[in-house]
Chain A
């Protein structure tokens, strides 16, 4: 397969940050095209600087390339300056390793962490010469597969993708590879339709074309049914069990270009059962599966040695909840003491334990910021969202951080939560004032600050809030304004409080794409035709373009976003099985409205969310009782 490099190279001096299109990363793999039997192009549909560090793509890239006969390369969204030149000079969407045209691959896998990447998918398809509409593709075109969290409701892009995979990808990509390899080896019998049918029969690959959606006269969905025999009524998510058996990334990609995360990231567990009702990630990744302390230790050792990174991120949805997090932190801190390696833990749990861990990790003197996420300003709203933290605990925790030497903490909140009133949001100001007042008193200094960071809440599929009405941008923006006033109402305290917020309009579009059905596909296409690109970037996002597109294709934005759904309504993703029992979700939604909290099933009896029996999985947590051995001291 011919490289497009000779045609691309003359364009690069004319664009910004050309290095992002060059490849050459440490950890990149270039395989012989002709001796590969199955070839994947993997895409993260955002700019290289955001897409390269993405763990999902890096893991699948390595898992696939480790297999003989399988070739995987990566591609990212090109910025509009290069897109224009590529169109002018007829250069197709390319992979960064060997600059091969994406259209020549067997499979084109796109990982959607956010729905705002949908327009970038269309750009990539179009530049690749792949028809935008899946129905227009033939045997020459790659099979386009969506993955990532947004794939739990792929209906808005159902017309653009050939298939979608829900859940963990490690085993799924290998199974798909096997099916495609066998089909190709047999001479591609039955063409595209046949290979898609074989994928659908696994019951864990969703092929939208094999399902018909019927609507009621009022616009709601009547039903979603298979339109051919032997495809399943519901498609199940994939769950990788035993993370110790999948210690990826082993060879993390180390870019030449600057990217948003420059660190070796290791996932210390997957899943979360804290039960925050707004959190789609926590709902769709159940059950909790821990990586053992010893595997974490080995991955960090080997990952740093391979990459030369000097920063380690211990990632998960709530890292302080690992059953052996204390030993992991102290073991790593000991191992890297006296070196210039820094360790970080995304710290959002609001309790003193988090500070102990952060203390441990900053032995080298490098302090990362402390972030707490109370999410809601009043105790009432925190009960609604099941974020169990009392005001007293919150203030005590932040003050402990100040007395332990942190001068700055970040507090994360959401606006527009179900049942929220103006007062719930204004309470955030009171809380922030209280934090500063108590912090000043405890430290005896005025040199402490906190930052309040707040964004609009977007109801997501497969959560108890999937039925909720999203707050209108006007409501969100008004409350954000009230909060700002309230913070600054006390000038002395207000001066110590930073305030960062996101406008409500992008959230509404995210809401449309999150809970949309197949009819929303026309909006995405129209927005793209009107020039929509990089919708996750405020400088590229245009709300006017989305409202115009909705009007052009006759989609009612409010109906999809600010409308509350009833229990009996068929939701666009009901045929996609995340394992969560719909009755349980409804009950949790009702509990939320009556401000009734739900415990974590790691420490209390099972509350029957349905995932473990439905998916044949189980909670996998320690403690293992093992320790990180001091190993060979590194450095010095």
Chain B
């Protein structure tokens, strides 16, 4: 029997849709692998006509832009799906959002235009809350960090401890004014823009950097949130990576 051959061809991709989604609250502890599995099941439940790769073990066509680290919340994660039938992107977004657990929320859905998503993402904006840290203490650390030409930090990776510079890719680092309401516990807030480089510099690496320069030790683990991802403008702003797709759709440029 001719059994050692891949099964019948999978239907081709006829439409690509890009999604922006958030990872919030307790579900920020979802790892990227966890999210990928969960998303594939949500696609099944939502009845989205996802396309599959060819071969013995066909995989749903989903590709991800760089994912926020486990434990970091995000308002700006991106992915792209390939579909075997055309559908209204907004409808897909609504259905997927309903199928995903609250805390994994689809925020935007557009039909993909030309060019790759990855090419439109070269920086992220992060917000880090540091409960138990007085804003002035953080300001002091930030000044020292900015003044340094290089801040070597270490991180444990799968290949062991790696040392790299946490200062270079940091485009902006500043302390936000604390909210006006008075609280018993101080909570300093850090606003960060980091350029995407290899190896990537993540919010916790910048916190390691603050420890390196002035010995800042937050008493409890800080809470980081990615606020935006996209193209860094010369003014230091971050452009929505789906903007080009949306504009393309409006001006009637055919997809792909």
- Which of A12, A26, A307, A309 touches B29 (beta carbons < 8 Å)? A12
Interface flag for A636 (CB, 8 Å)? yes
Main secondary structure of the interface of A (DSSP, over half): loop
Q: For residue B82, give the distance in angstroms from its CB to the closest CB of chain A.
A: 14
Are A340 and B58 within 8 A (Cβ)? yes
Interface flag for A405 (CB, 8 Å)? yes
Which residues of the partner chain A approach B52 to less than 8 Å between Cβ atoms?
A: 340
- CB-defined interface of B50-63 with A at 8 Å, one 1/0 digit per residue? 00100011101000
Q: For residue A438, give the distance in angstroms from its CB to the closest CB of chain B.
A: 18
- Which of A18, A305, A404, A407 touches B71 (beta carbons < 8 Å)? A18
Q: How many B residues touch A, CB cutoff 8 Å?
A: 36
Are A24 and B1 within 8 A (Cβ)? no
Are A256 and B41 within 8 A (Cβ)? no
Interface flag for B152 (CB, 8 Å)? no
Are A10 and B101 within 8 A (Cβ)? no
Are A307 and B41 within 8 A (Cβ)? yes
Q: For residue B126, give the distance in angstroms from its CB to the closest CB of chain A.
A: 15
Cα–Cα, bound, A338→B33 (Å): 27
**CB under 8 Å from chain B, chain A span 18-49:** 18-19, 21-26
Interface flag for B159 (CB, 8 Å)? no
- Which of B31, B43, B221 touches A308 (beta carbons < 8 Å)? B43
Cα–Cα, bound, A89→B221 (Å): 14
Which residues of the partner chain A approach B30 to less than 8 Å between Cβ atoms?
A: 19, 22, 256
Cα–Cα, bound, A19→B44 (Å): 22
Which residues of the partner chain B approach A338 to less than 8 Å between Cβ atoms?
A: 8
Q: For residue A407, give the distance in angstroms from its CB to the closest CB of chain B.
A: 8
Which residues of the partner chain B approach A19 to less than 8 Å between Cβ atoms?
A: 29-31, 34, 70
Cα–Cα, bound, A256→B27 (Å): 9
Are B7 and A364 within 8 A (Cβ)? yes
- Which of B26, B42, B43, B45 touches A23 (beta carbons < 8 Å)? B26
Closest to B85 in A: A636
Are B58 and A10 within 8 A (Cβ)? no
Which residues of the partner chain B approach A405 to less than 8 Å between Cβ atoms?
A: 1, 3-4
- CB-defined interface of A360-398 with B at 8 Å, one 1/0 digit per residue? 000011100000000000000000000000000000000
Cα–Cα, bound, A19→B33 (Å): 11
With contact pairs A24-B103, A404-B3 given, residues A306 and B45 touching in the complex (Cβ less than 8 Å): yes
With contact pairs A256-B101, A306-B45, A308-B99 given, residues A365 and B56 touching in the complex (Cβ less than 8 Å): yes
Interface flag for A14 (CB, 8 Å)? yes
Cα–Cα, bound, A157→B223 (Å): 42
Interface flag for A227 (CB, 8 Å)? no
Interface flag for A241 (CB, 8 Å)? no
Interface flag for B220 (CB, 8 Å)? yes
Closest to A254 in B: B41
Cα–Cα, bound, A340→B58 (Å): 8
Which residues of the partner chain B approach A309 to less than 8 Å between Cβ atoms?
A: 41, 44
Interface flag for B37 (CB, 8 Å)? yes
Which residues of the partner chain B approach A257 to less than 8 Å between Cβ atoms?
A: 34
| Interface size grouping (class) on chain A | 35 or more
- CB-defined interface of A612-629 with B at 8 Å, one 1/0 digit per residue? 000000000000000000
Which residues of the partner chain B approach A194 to less than 8 Å between Cβ atoms?
A: none
**CB under 8 Å from chain A, chain B span 1-49:** 1, 3-4, 6-8, 11, 26-27, 29-31, 33-35, 37-38, 40-45
Cα–Cα, bound, A25→B26 (Å): 12
Which residues of the partner chain A approach B102 to less than 8 Å between Cβ atoms?
A: 24
Are B27 and A24 within 8 A (Cβ)? yes
Are B42 and A14 within 8 A (Cβ)? no
Are A5 and B26 within 8 A (Cβ)? yes
With contact pairs A258-B34, A308-B99, A405-B1 given, residues A13 and B41 touching in the complex (Cβ less than 8 Å): no
Closest to B131 in A: A10
Which residues of the partner chain B approach A18 to less than 8 Å between Cβ atoms?
A: 29, 70-71
Q: For residue A447, give the distance in angstroms from its CB to the closest CB of chain B.
A: 9
Cα–Cα, bound, A21→B71 (Å): 12
Q: Which residues from chain B sit less than 8 Å from chain A, CB to CB?
A: 1, 3-4, 6-8, 11, 26-27, 29-31, 33-35, 37-38, 40-45, 52, 56-58, 60, 70-71, 99, 101-103, 220-221
Q: Which residues from chain A sit less than 8 Å from chain B, CB to CB?
A: 5, 9-10, 12-14, 17-19, 21-26, 254, 256-258, 262, 304-310, 338, 340, 364-366, 404-405, 407, 636
Q: Which 4 pairs show the lowest CB-CB distances between chains A and B? A: A365-B7, A405-B3, A308-B41, A308-B44
